[in-house]
Amino acid sequence: MKLIKAKDFTLTQSSNEIERNEQIDATVLSIIQNVRKNGDQAVIDYAKQFDQTTLETLLVSKNEFEQAEQLVTAEFIEAIDVAASNIRAFHEAQKEKSWFLQEREGVFLGQQVRPMDRVGVYIPGGKAAYPSTVLMNVIPAQLAGVGEIYIATPPQKDGTVNPHVLVAANRLSVNHVYKMGGAQAVAAFAYGTETIQKVDKIVGPGNDFVARAKKWVYGDVAIDMIAGPSEICVVADESANPAYVAADLLSQAEHDEAATSICVTTSEQIAEQIAEEVDKQLQTLERYDVAKASIDTNGQVVIADDLTEAFDIVNLIAPEHLQLMIEMQQTT
């Protein structure tokens, strides 16, 4: 993991990154046009090309849901139920409400909140399974009162969907799960096919192709955001535990080779210990190759003079995940 001084830290897009985005855009636009023209068959053809599987239908069957229940543990189901309860409680408190004021006779001011009819949720599945992403995207939609919720997730090579993803969907009573991933899934949700209805909004994380596809369909359909590869920034001072910092940095690095893991610390000693811990813990990861590629390319420990400089770095990064492992100052 690279150690650098704060004054040497920069966030600039290299010419290679710009060229890669242009290449991705060309591929994505081609996929979107093909799906709009050829519907289901285009999606099935892309499953064969990108997922190395031959599909007869895109929709997960009732039998597949039942089989998935037999492939997960009771502990997993218990964990899913506990997580769902916590997520539901959080978003219940977040709900917006309609309200109206009568300023004077005949003049009303206010806000009317109405649920969307149909939402498409993208669940990544190419490199790992993310049942938690099912919960975190479906539950808010249910609480908002969305009429229909569809899930898209890439099929495995045997043509099935990861059972943990299916069980999570089933626990939330979502029975429209489609075997499709990448830009083709975004296009199918955005414009509809013979068997997939057009949705009002597409949500959920994905790889570069999913992110760029959401960018290109935005306007024809609503999206949550254009999310890039996962990233985390940890601010640590002398009180931080280097082992904990390293574990949290690796928790995002193992998502994707393009993920970014950055620690900003005010201690050169802690910086060196964190770098050592990252190397040590890296050896134990099941997804070693992915995490190592991420750390080698985008892993940094930035040494700042003080917390003010550290926070300037954080504001420059504007990270997806931010953790403060610092001793809190008492104020009076």
Our count of domains for the chain comes to 2
In a domain, 96, yes or no: no
Domain with residue 128: its CATH number is 3.40.50.1980
Whether residue 253 sits in one domain with residue 210: no
Instruction: Quote the CA–CA distance of 50 and 12 in Å, as a whole number.
Output: 31
Tell me what pLDDT residue 126 has: 67
Whether residue 289 sits in one domain with residue 189: no
In a domain, 151, yes or no: yes
In a domain, 179, yes or no: yes
In this structure, the number of other CB atoms found within 10 A of the CB of residue 67 comes to 13
Angle, helices 182-191/208-217, rounded to nearest 10 degrees? 20
321 is catalytic: yes
Domain stop point among 174, 202, 223: 223
Instruction: Quote the CA–CA distance of 155 and 72 in Å, as a whole number.
Output: 17
320 is catalytic: yes
Whether residue 138 sits in one domain with residue 175: yes
Tell me what pLDDT residue 127 has: 67
Tell me what pLDDT residue 332 has: 45
In a domain, 95, yes or no: no
Among the listed residues 69, 78, 321, 327, the single catalytic one is 321
Decide: 143 and 105 in contact? Cβ < 8 Å.
Answer: no
Tell me what pLDDT residue 130 has: 87
Instruction: Quote the CA–CA distance of 317 and 12 in Å, as a whole number.
Output: 11
H or E segment to which residue 269 belongs? helix 268-282
Q: What domain range includes position 311?
A: 229-325
Q: Which residues of the chain have pLDDT under 70?
A: 12-15, 126-127, 329-332
Whether residue 218 sits in one domain with residue 233: no
The helices-and-strands tally (H runs, E runs) of the chain is 11, 12
Tell me what pLDDT residue 159 has: 95
